[in-house]
Amino acid sequence: MAAAKETHYVYADGSCLGNPGPGGWAAVIVKPGGVSNTIFGGDPATTNNRMELTAAIEGLRIIPNGTRVVLRTDSQYVVKTMTLGWKRKQNIDLWEKLDHEAAQREVRFEWVEGHAGDPLNEEADRNARNAAMTAAKGGRVHYHGLSIVGGAGTAPASEDYGADNNSVRELRPLLAADEAIRRCVGCGRAYVGPVGDAPPYCALASCQLKSRRAAHTKER
Protein backbone atom coordinates (compact mmCIF):
# COMPACT_ATOMS: atom_id res chain seq x y z
CA MET A 1 0.00 0.00 0.00
CA ALA A 2 1.56 3.22 -1.15
CA ALA A 3 -0.75 5.67 0.57
CA ALA A 4 0.56 6.82 3.93
CA LYS A 5 -1.65 5.74 6.77
CA GLU A 6 -3.28 8.49 8.76
CA THR A 7 -1.51 9.09 12.02
CA HIS A 8 -3.13 10.01 15.32
CA TYR A 9 -0.97 11.64 17.96
CA VAL A 10 -1.59 11.01 21.65
CA TYR A 11 0.07 13.02 24.42
CA ALA A 12 -0.54 11.03 27.60
CA ASP A 13 0.31 12.09 31.13
CA GLY A 14 -0.44 10.99 34.67
CA SER A 15 -0.22 12.86 37.93
CA CYS A 16 -0.42 11.86 41.56
CA LEU A 17 -0.67 14.01 44.70
CA GLY A 18 1.49 11.82 46.88
CA ASN A 19 2.47 8.39 45.69
CA PRO A 20 0.21 6.65 46.50
CA GLY A 21 -2.48 9.28 46.72
CA PRO A 22 -5.24 10.88 44.68
CA GLY A 23 -4.32 10.91 41.03
CA GLY A 24 -5.36 12.05 37.60
CA TRP A 25 -4.58 11.17 34.02
CA ALA A 26 -5.13 13.00 30.74
CA ALA A 27 -4.56 12.49 27.05
CA VAL A 28 -4.46 15.16 24.35
CA ILE A 29 -5.30 13.57 21.02
CA VAL A 30 -4.56 15.18 17.67
CA LYS A 31 -6.47 13.49 14.89
CA PRO A 32 -5.17 13.20 11.30
CA GLY A 33 -7.21 16.26 10.26
CA GLY A 34 -5.49 18.27 12.98
CA VAL A 35 -8.41 18.59 15.38
CA SER A 36 -7.50 17.89 18.98
CA ASN A 37 -9.44 16.58 21.91
CA THR A 38 -8.58 16.16 25.54
CA ILE A 39 -9.82 13.39 27.78
CA PHE A 40 -9.08 12.95 31.44
CA GLY A 41 -10.11 11.17 34.59
CA GLY A 42 -9.14 10.71 38.20
CA ASP A 43 -8.88 8.20 40.98
CA PRO A 44 -9.00 9.06 44.70
CA ALA A 45 -6.38 6.41 45.62
CA THR A 46 -3.74 5.41 43.10
CA THR A 47 -0.08 5.73 42.13
CA ASN A 48 1.80 7.82 39.64
CA ASN A 49 2.67 4.83 37.45
CA ARG A 50 -0.94 3.66 37.39
CA MET A 51 -2.02 7.09 36.19
CA GLU A 52 0.70 7.16 33.50
CA LEU A 53 -0.48 3.76 32.29
CA THR A 54 -4.15 4.74 32.41
CA ALA A 55 -3.45 7.86 30.33
CA ALA A 56 -1.84 5.71 27.64
CA ILE A 57 -4.61 3.10 27.71
CA GLU A 58 -7.46 5.62 27.55
CA GLY A 59 -5.67 7.71 24.94
CA LEU A 60 -5.37 4.68 22.67
CA ARG A 61 -8.80 3.32 23.43
CA ILE A 62 -10.68 6.14 21.75
CA ILE A 63 -8.64 5.93 18.54
CA PRO A 64 -10.06 3.63 15.84
CA ASN A 65 -8.54 0.16 15.52
CA GLY A 66 -6.14 -0.42 12.66
CA THR A 67 -4.79 3.13 12.62
CA ARG A 68 -1.27 4.38 13.12
CA VAL A 69 -0.64 6.13 16.43
CA VAL A 70 2.31 8.03 17.83
CA LEU A 71 1.96 7.97 21.62
CA ARG A 72 4.11 10.53 23.40
CA THR A 73 4.62 10.40 27.14
CA ASP A 74 7.22 11.58 29.63
CA SER A 75 7.00 8.25 31.46
CA GLN A 76 10.14 6.17 30.93
CA TYR A 77 8.27 3.43 32.77
CA VAL A 78 5.66 3.25 30.00
CA VAL A 79 8.00 3.75 27.03
CA LYS A 80 10.79 1.42 28.12
CA THR A 81 8.46 -1.34 29.25
CA MET A 82 6.68 -1.22 25.89
CA THR A 83 9.71 -0.77 23.66
CA LEU A 84 12.57 -2.45 25.56
CA GLY A 85 10.63 -5.13 27.37
CA TRP A 86 11.35 -3.93 30.90
CA LYS A 87 10.19 -6.57 33.35
CA ARG A 88 6.67 -6.06 34.66
CA LYS A 89 6.40 -6.48 38.41
CA GLN A 90 3.40 -4.35 39.30
CA ASN A 91 0.26 -3.06 37.65
CA ILE A 92 -0.12 -6.25 35.64
CA ASP A 93 -3.82 -5.50 35.16
CA LEU A 94 -3.01 -2.24 33.41
CA TRP A 95 -0.15 -3.64 31.33
CA GLU A 96 -2.58 -6.24 30.00
CA LYS A 97 -5.00 -3.50 29.03
CA LEU A 98 -2.26 -1.48 27.36
CA ASP A 99 -1.05 -4.55 25.44
CA HIS A 100 -4.61 -5.17 24.29
CA GLU A 101 -5.08 -1.62 23.01
CA ALA A 102 -1.62 -1.45 21.44
CA ALA A 103 -2.11 -4.75 19.60
CA GLN A 104 -5.09 -3.35 17.72
CA ARG A 105 -3.24 -0.37 16.33
CA GLU A 106 0.16 0.39 14.88
CA VAL A 107 1.55 2.23 17.90
CA ARG A 108 4.90 3.95 18.22
CA PHE A 109 5.78 4.90 21.81
CA GLU A 110 7.93 8.01 22.05
CA TRP A 111 9.41 9.53 25.17
CA VAL A 112 9.25 13.31 25.58
CA GLU A 113 11.02 15.17 28.33
CA GLY A 114 8.47 16.33 30.89
CA HIS A 115 8.24 20.01 31.82
CA ALA A 116 10.63 20.86 29.00
CA GLY A 117 8.35 23.14 27.05
CA ASP A 118 6.58 20.63 24.80
CA PRO A 119 3.19 22.42 24.70
CA LEU A 120 0.98 19.37 24.25
CA ASN A 121 2.82 17.43 26.95
CA GLU A 122 2.32 20.40 29.25
CA GLU A 123 -1.35 20.58 28.37
CA ALA A 124 -1.79 16.90 29.22
CA ASP A 125 0.13 17.47 32.47
CA ARG A 126 -2.10 20.42 33.38
CA ASN A 127 -5.26 18.42 32.77
CA ALA A 128 -3.94 15.41 34.70
CA ARG A 129 -3.04 17.59 37.69
CA ASN A 130 -6.45 19.27 37.62
CA ALA A 131 -8.11 15.86 37.54
CA ALA A 132 -5.95 14.73 40.49
CA MET A 133 -6.96 17.80 42.49
CA THR A 134 -10.62 17.14 41.76
CA ALA A 135 -10.17 13.51 42.81
CA ALA A 136 -8.47 14.70 46.02
CA LYS A 137 -11.52 16.78 46.89
CA GLY A 138 -13.70 13.73 46.42
CA GLY A 139 -14.97 15.07 43.10
CA ARG A 140 -16.09 12.81 40.35
CA VAL A 141 -13.81 13.05 37.35
CA HIS A 142 -15.00 11.24 34.38
CA TYR A 143 -15.31 11.51 30.66
CA HIS A 144 -17.66 9.98 28.19
CA GLY A 145 -16.42 9.43 24.68
CA LEU A 146 -15.06 12.68 23.40
CA SER A 147 -17.37 14.97 25.27
CA ILE A 148 -15.98 15.84 28.60
CA VAL A 149 -17.85 15.61 31.85
CA GLY A 150 -16.09 16.49 35.03
CA GLY A 151 -15.08 19.13 37.44
CA ALA A 152 -11.48 19.78 36.57
CA GLY A 153 -12.25 23.31 35.41
CA THR A 154 -10.33 23.38 32.17
CA ALA A 155 -12.60 21.05 30.25
CA PRO A 156 -12.18 21.99 26.60
CA ALA A 157 -14.92 21.72 24.04
CA SER A 158 -14.91 18.65 21.83
CA GLU A 159 -12.87 20.61 19.32
CA ASP A 160 -9.89 21.98 21.15
CA TYR A 161 -7.15 24.29 19.94
CA GLY A 162 -5.84 25.19 23.37
CA ALA A 163 -4.98 28.86 23.83
CA ASP A 164 -6.04 29.54 20.22
CA ASN A 165 -9.71 28.61 20.69
CA ASN A 166 -10.95 32.21 20.47
CA SER A 167 -8.95 33.03 17.33
CA VAL A 168 -10.13 29.79 15.75
CA ARG A 169 -13.75 30.68 16.40
CA GLU A 170 -13.34 34.01 14.59
CA LEU A 171 -11.17 32.61 11.84
CA ARG A 172 -13.35 29.65 10.92
CA PRO A 173 -15.95 31.55 8.82
CA LEU A 174 -13.12 33.28 6.91
CA LEU A 175 -11.52 30.07 5.64
CA ALA A 176 -11.50 29.10 1.97
CA ALA A 177 -12.98 25.76 0.95
CA ASP A 178 -9.58 24.07 0.70
CA GLU A 179 -8.35 25.37 4.06
CA ALA A 180 -8.70 23.76 7.45
CA ILE A 181 -7.73 24.68 10.98
CA ARG A 182 -5.29 22.23 12.45
CA ARG A 183 -3.36 21.87 15.60
CA CYS A 184 0.41 21.57 15.25
CA VAL A 185 1.83 18.62 17.19
CA GLY A 186 5.19 20.39 17.25
CA CYS A 187 4.26 23.67 18.93
CA GLY A 188 0.66 23.05 19.99
CA ARG A 189 -0.64 26.15 18.16
CA ALA A 190 -3.56 26.27 15.75
CA TYR A 191 -2.63 26.98 12.13
CA VAL A 192 -4.30 27.11 8.72
CA GLY A 193 -3.38 24.17 6.53
CA PRO A 194 -4.84 22.16 3.67
CA VAL A 195 -8.00 20.07 4.01
CA GLY A 196 -7.09 16.40 4.35
CA ASP A 197 -4.59 14.33 6.22
CA ALA A 198 -1.31 16.19 5.76
CA PRO A 199 0.99 15.73 8.77
CA PRO A 200 -0.22 18.06 11.56
CA TYR A 201 2.83 20.31 11.74
CA CYS A 202 2.70 24.05 11.07
CA ALA A 203 5.03 25.93 8.73
CA LEU A 204 7.42 27.23 11.42
CA ALA A 205 10.95 26.08 10.72
CA SER A 206 11.29 24.42 14.12
CA CYS A 207 8.07 22.44 13.59
CA GLN A 208 9.01 21.49 10.03
CA LEU A 209 12.29 20.17 11.39
CA LYS A 210 10.39 18.04 13.93
CA SER A 211 8.04 16.84 11.18
CA ARG A 212 10.88 15.79 8.89
CA ARG A 213 12.72 14.07 11.72
CA ALA A 214 9.55 12.18 12.62
CA ALA A 215 9.05 11.11 8.99
CA HIS A 216 12.67 10.00 8.84
CA THR A 217 12.50 7.78 11.94
CA LYS A 218 9.24 6.28 10.66
CA GLU A 219 11.06 4.96 7.59
CA ARG A 220 13.57 3.26 9.91
Contact between 87 and 60 (Cβ < 8 Å): no
Nearest distance from C-beta of residue 140 to Zn ion, angstroms: 35
Our CB check for Zn ion shows the closer of 104 and 208 to be 208
Nearest distance from C-beta of residue 190 to Zn ion, angstroms: 10
178 to 217, contacts with Zn ion by CB under 5 A? 184, 186-187, 202, 204, 207
Q: Is the peptide bond before 20 cis (omega within 30 degrees of 0)?
A: yes
Across 153-167, b (16+ Cβ under 10 Å) vs e yields: eebbeeebbbebeee
Sign of the torsion formed by the C-alpha atoms of 35, 59, 9 and 111 = positive
Our CB check for Zn ion shows the closer of 120 and 202 to be 202
Phi then psi for residue 8, to 5 deg, are -95, 145
Our CB check for Zn ion shows the closer of 30 and 53 to be 30
Question: Pattern 85-124, binding to Zn ion, x per CB under 5 A?
Answer: ----------------------------------------
Contact between 30 and 67 (Cβ < 8 Å): no
Nearest distance from C-beta of residue 200 to Zn ion, angstroms: 9
* Catalytic positions, written as ranges: 13-14, 52, 74, 115, 125
Cα–chain center distance at 70 = 9
Residues near 66 by beta carbon (within 8 Å), at least 6 away in sequence: 104, 105, 106
Residues contacting Zn ion: total by CB under 5 A: 6
Question: Pattern 146-185, binding to Zn ion, x per CB under 5 A?
Answer: --------------------------------------x-
Nearest distance from C-beta of residue 36 to Zn ion, angstroms: 13
Our CB check for Zn ion shows the closer of 82 and 184 to be 184
Q: Where are the alpha helices (DSSP H) in the chain?
A: 48-61, 76-84, 92-103, 119-136, 165-171, 205-219
By CB under 5 A, is residue 30 in contact with Zn ion? Answer: no
**Which spans of this chain sit near Zn ion (rule: CB under 5 A)?**
184, 186-187, 202, 204, 207
